[in-house]
Amino acid sequence: MKAPPRLRSLLEEGLIDAVVRQLMSGKEATVYVVRCGDETRCAKVYKEATQRSFRQAVDYTENRKVKNTRQARAMAKGTRFGREAQEAAWQSAEVDALHRLAAAGVRVPRPFNFHEGVLLMELVVDAEGAAAPRLNDVAFTAEEARAHHATLIGEVVRMLCAGVIHGDLSEFNILLAADGPVIIDLPQAVDAAGNNHAQRLLLRDVDNLRDFFGRFAPDLLATQFGAEIWALYTRGVLQPGSRLSGRFDAPQASVDVADVLRVVGDARDDEAARLLRVGQRD
């Protein structure tokens, strides 16, 4: 096919040799299948901010680092330079997350290059060598659903141990490769230790997995992996391969009965004193 304008610079630089076809167009990017020598890869072309339906919510961008204070000031003021810097930071967040997670052994596409708003990465394929489908396009048996759910819970744990939370994980951004699920779409990934919304985003990611696979294996709907994972993480004992039960009992704070009785007694004395004052005035 004829190369779209955003991919021509990659052709000129020799980063890709040919554009095969458009693979998909989503809320934040258009993805193309490309040839690089003897390999088939994919090129994710990010849409301009004005063309995207996905907004950079503060929940995701909170405490993200920028290159310098000039960029930070411009982004805060919303200047043209600031908007461009914010867009660049949004795109590079996915690149950084992919490198970080791939190094940690998380099942994500291998990134190769990032050039002028285009991310060149591994093409995830199915058993026949075709582009892998999203989970949303596949039906599972109960046994398959439990197996894939267990795999992905393990990947969420591995991500969290690497300090990353996906933030928008669902059946729409997980591919089913020949050897199992692969997590994609990470520009909104958050730093687990530096984002005040980290717990809520992690719980939502895990709940999305539970609800999707629970359609095929209803017993999964009763699990509470998110709360269990977060509790282990905050205690500093979460590790890749941590054994999880899917059950979580919120800790119950012990009650100081004597202190409660003192408070009740003080309130009773205050009320008696008030009534006495009222009676004296009458």
Measured CA to CA in angstroms, residue 237 lies from 104, 143, 160, 201, 246 at distances of: 17, 30, 12, 20, 16
Q: Which two tokens stand for residue 107?
A: 């099942």
The 10s digit of each residue's pLDDT in 72-81 is 444 444 555 4
Looking at residue 249, what is its pLDDT? 84
The SS3 call for residue 171 is: helix
The SS3 call for residue 205 is: helix
Is 247 within a domain?
no
Residue 50, judged by CB atoms within 10 A of its CB (0-12, 13-18, 19+), counts as exposed
Looking at residue 51, what is its pLDDT? 47
Is 210 within a domain?
yes
H or E, element range at 18 = strand 18-25
Distance CA 154, CA 243 (A): 9
198: domain CATH number is 1.10.510.10
The 10s digit of each residue's pLDDT in 23-33 is 999 878 999 99
Task: Report which of residues 3 and 49 the model is more confident about.
Answer: 3
Is 279 within a domain?
no
User: Does 9 score more than 80 pLDDT?
Assistant: yes
- List of residues 6+ apart from 134 with CB closer than 8 A: 171, 172, 173, 174, 175, 176
Domain encompassing residue 9: 5-234
Provide the domain count of the chain. 1
pTM: predicted TM-score of the whole model, two decimal places: 0.78
User: Does 71 score more than 80 pLDDT?
Assistant: no
